[in-house]
Structure 1
Amino acid sequence: MNLNKSMIGIASNPYSVVIEREHVTRFAQAIGDNNLLYENEAYAKTTAYEGMTVPPTFLVALGSHAEFPLKLDFKRMLHGEQEFIYHQPVRIGDKLDCIMTVTDVYDRVGKSGTMQFLVLDTNMTTEDDTLVAVSRNTIIYRPVPKEAK
């Protein structure tokens, strides 16, 4: 399958995730981030965040819950870029309603030929539909190897 602009707007089924303290703690340990904002409520209340929050890159862990309708060849995929756009802090106990959508498809010529880029935005909202954050993932979709054509 090759990518094309007609894919823009294709979305996953909506899904919900509850931010659990244990998950946040394990994530912070895995990335070696021992910031007290993720563990110590008394300390976190004294900061600009006014309470515990999640590590900035934590949202990447929530994308695995998406059921995405595009059937992509995982052998051709490379992680290109990840961006997190926060509109408000994400806190332990928050229930986020999420939907992943194709927001862009474009081509670039590289050393091995034309590569395609797929941009996926996962919008994360509260139950009252307030946008909390967007996790933007750019996937590089490599050309089919010549011997496989």
Structure 2
Amino acid sequence: MTVDTQFIGKEYEPITYVIGEEKIKEYAYAIGDLNELYINPEFAKKSKYSSIIAPPMFVVVFAKGAMDKLFSDKEVNLNMSRLVHGEQEFNFHKIIKADDTIKTIGKIKNIYSKNNNDFVELQTDSFNQKNELVVQGLWTFIIRG
């Protein structure tokens, strides 16, 4: 095993991201999801959300900073030339709206070996400005042996 298990539990400094209405729209157009709640402020204002909301997978935009912390961590020292994305899963708790301020904390949840490959699981917890958990992610990265 090349990734040391001593780093299980290591937590990174929070990353803060302000959810911009334009960024939500750009993301919606990029993924081809033209739901009026994502792109039309007048429509969204009349909805139960009273604002444009972010598509669920917008989480990738604001949680990326937590991944960057892991990837640039010289202590953990992941071999980026051998790293591939394994899987991701999310538990969504609250709707994310334009102008929300999201704080994401990344933590190494697990490190293990299987079939001569190392697996690193990063848990991300993202909170809004009310300190409510909006989404929890689990990102699995594989360092090929």
Q: Which TM-score band (shorter chain)?
A: 0.7 to 0.9
CA contact (8 A) 1:60 1:135 kept: no
Report SS of the residue matched to 2:56: coil
Q: Which has the higher helix share?
A: 2
Unpaired runs of at least 5, structure 2: none
2:81 aligned with 1:79, yes or no?
Answer: no
Cα deviation, residue 136, structure 1: 1.9
How many percent of aligned residue pairs carry the same amino acid? 32
> Residue type of the partner of 2:98?
I
CA contact (8 A) 1:80 1:138 kept: yes
- TM-aligned CA distance change 1:46 to 1:108, over 3 Å: farther
How large is the Cα RMSD of the aligned pairs?
2.1
CA contact (8 A) 1:56 1:84 kept: no
Structure having the higher Rg? 1
> Residue type of the partner of 2:92?
Y
> Residue type of the partner of 1:132?
V
2:13 aligned with 1:7, yes or no?
Answer: no
Distance 1:50 1:83 in 2: 28
> Residue type of the partner of 1:115?
N
> Residue type of the partner of 2:136?
V
Distance 1:45 1:83 in 2: 30
Unpaired runs of at least 5, structure 1: 144-149
